[in-house]
Amino acid sequence: MDVAVRTVNLRKTYLSRGSRRVAVGGLTMSVPHGGVHGFLGPNGSGKTTTIRMLLGLIRADSGTAEVFGEEVPRRLPHVIDRVGAIVESPKFFPTFTARQNLALLAGAIGSPAARVDEVLEATHLRDRGRDRYAGFSLGMKQRLAIAATLLKDPDLLIFDEPTNGLDPAGIREVRDTMRSLGAQGKTVLVSSHILAEVEQVADTVSIIGHGSLLAEGNVRDILGGSGVSQVRVGVASPDRAQQVLEAAGFALTRDGQHLLVGTDDPSAITRALAGHGLYVAELVPVRPDLESAFLALTADEGLGSESDRLAGGHAPGGAS
C-alpha cells in the first residue's frame, strides 16, 4: 500500500508526579500518500506526542513508525528533507528577523540563499522579512512557519493544530494552503481537535482518543458508517404521515411537528406520502457530520467526558 506515514503499536508514557501517564498507548495508523489527512482527537489525546515521535524529537517507549518507508527515528536523516513540520506553534528566535530565522534554517540544510526570498514571497511575507519575529501577529508567525517548511520543498507536511488562535481570515488562509498543497500531490498531515476543520479540508482521517486509534479512513466513509442518514420531513399532518411511513417500514422519530426519517433515499419518502395524499412541505437531509461520528466512537470507548471538550462546529470561521 502506498503510505506516507505508518505507525505500529506506537507507545509513549510520561513520568508525571511519580506515576506513569500514557500519552500514546499503542497507536497504529497510516496516512496515505497524497492529499490531506486529518489527525483528529480531543485535547490531550496524544496527537502532538505522536507527531514528535514521528520527527524523532521524543523517543517512543515501544512500537515502530515509518515515514516514506524509512523507519524513524533511525533512518530519519534520510527522509527529513522530504518532511516539513510545525509542531504545536511556530517557534523561532524572537529577536531575529524573519529573514534571519529562515536563513539559519536554510543554512542548516544547505539550501541556496535565494530560496529564502522565494518562500517569503510565497507566504506573502516579503515586506516583513526584515522585521523581528517577536513583533509578528500569530497569523504571520504561522505563515513564517509554513515558509520554513517550504525551504525544503517537502513531500510530507505535518501541521499540528495550525489554526489554533488564528482569526477567521487566518484560518481560511491556512486551510486553503493545506488544500492547495494536497492538490499539488503532497501529503498533508494535519492534527486538530476541531471537527469542522478536519471535515472541511481532509480527504482521509485518523481519529484517536486516549492515545489509540478509534477510526480511520475516508472522511466520507466514516461519516456514512456512523449510522443511517436522516431526513427531516415537514408535512401538514405529521401524525398521519408518521402512520403511513411506519407502515411503509421507515424508521423514524418525532421531532415536534417534524419527522426525522432514516433513509438513504429521500425520494422514497415523497413517494410513500404522496401515495396517501400527503404532500411534503419540507424535506431536508440531516447530514451526519464528523462530530456525531466522533461522539458515537468516543461514546463506545467510554470517552464521553473527553468528547465534551471537542469544539464541534463552533470553531471560529468553522462554518462556511
Partner 1 sequence: MSGTLLTPESGPRTRVRPTGTSFVGLVGVELRRLWWRRMAKVVLVAVVAFVGVSAYAAYQQTRPEALAERIEDYSSIVAETTRQNASIPADEKAAQIEACQRDEAATGADTSGGAPVDFRCEQMFDPPSPESFGIVAAERTAITSSIVESGLWIFGFLAFILGASFVAAEFAAGSMGNWLTFEPRRVRVGTSKLVAAGLGGLAVGGLGVGLATLGATLVTTVNRPGADLPVAAAPIVPGDTAAQSLLRVVAIVGLGGLGGAVIGLLLRSTAGVIGLVVGWLVLVEAFVASAFAEGRLQPWFLRTNIEGFVSDGTTYFATRCGVDGCQTVSMPHSYTASWIYLLVVTSLGVTAALLAFRARDVT
Ligand X SMILES: Nc1ncnc2c1ncn2[C@@H]1O[C@H](COP(=O)(O)OP(=O)(O)O)[C@@H](O)[C@H]1O
- Binding of ligand X by 49 (CB under 6 A): yes
Q: Which of 7, 48, 111, 206 contacts ligand X by CB under 6 A?
A: 48
Minimum distance from CB of 237 to ligand X (Å)? Answer: 50
Residue with cell 502532538: 48
All three cell numbers of 30:
497510516
Contact segment (CB under 6 A) with ligand X among 14-22, 118-126, 276-284, 297-305 equals 14-22
The span from the CA of 39 to the CA of 64, in Å, is 18
Residue with cell 498533508: 188
- Binding of partner 1 by 182 (CB under 8 A): no
How many degrees, rounded to 5, is the angle at CA 15 between CA 9 and CA 21?
50
Measured torsion, CA atoms of residues 227, 233, 239, 242, in degrees rounded to the nearest 10 = -40
* Residue with smaller CB distance to ligand X, 24 or 105: 24
Residue with cell 470561521: 317
Minimum distance from CB of 300 to Mg ion (Å)? Answer: 23
Residues in region 141-180 near partner 1 by CB under 8 A: 143, 146, 148, 150-153, 169, 172-173, 175-177, 179-180
- Binding of partner 1 by 94 (CB under 8 A): yes
* Residue with smaller CB distance to ligand X, 47 or 143: 47
- Binding of Mg ion by 48 (CB under 5 A): yes
How many degrees, rounded to 5, is the angle at CA 218 between CA 197 and CA 313?
25
Spatial contact of 10 and 191, defined as CB atoms under 8 Å apart? no
Residue 73 interacting entry, from Mg ion, partner 1, ligand X, none, C-beta within 5 to 8 Å by type: partner 1
- Binding of Mg ion by 192 (CB under 5 A): no
Q: Which of 25, 32, 44, 63 contacts ligand X by CB under 6 A?
A: 44
All three cell numbers of 20:
506513569
Residue 203 interacting entry, from ligand X, partner 1, Mg ion, none, C-beta within 5 to 8 Å by type: none
Q: Which of 7, 45, 149, 187 contacts ligand X by CB under 6 A?
A: 45
Neighbours of 241 (CB within 10 A): 24
- Binding of partner 1 by 191 (CB under 8 A): no
- Binding of Mg ion by 163 (CB under 5 A): no
- Binding of partner 1 by 91 (CB under 8 A): yes
Residue 319 interacting entry, from ligand X, Mg ion, partner 1, none, C-beta within 5 to 8 Å by type: none
- Binding of partner 1 by 274 (CB under 8 A): no
Give the phi and the psi of residue 62 in degrees, each rounded to 5: -160, 175
- Binding of ligand X by 20 (CB under 6 A): no
Site for ligand X, rule CB under 6 A = 14, 16, 21, 23, 41, 43-49
Site for Mg ion, rule CB under 5 A = 48
Site for partner 1, rule CB under 8 A = 52, 55-59, 73, 76-77, 80-85, 87, 89, 91-96, 100, 103-112, 114-115, 118-119, 121-124, 143, 146, 148, 150-153, 169, 172-173, 175-177, 179-181, 183-184
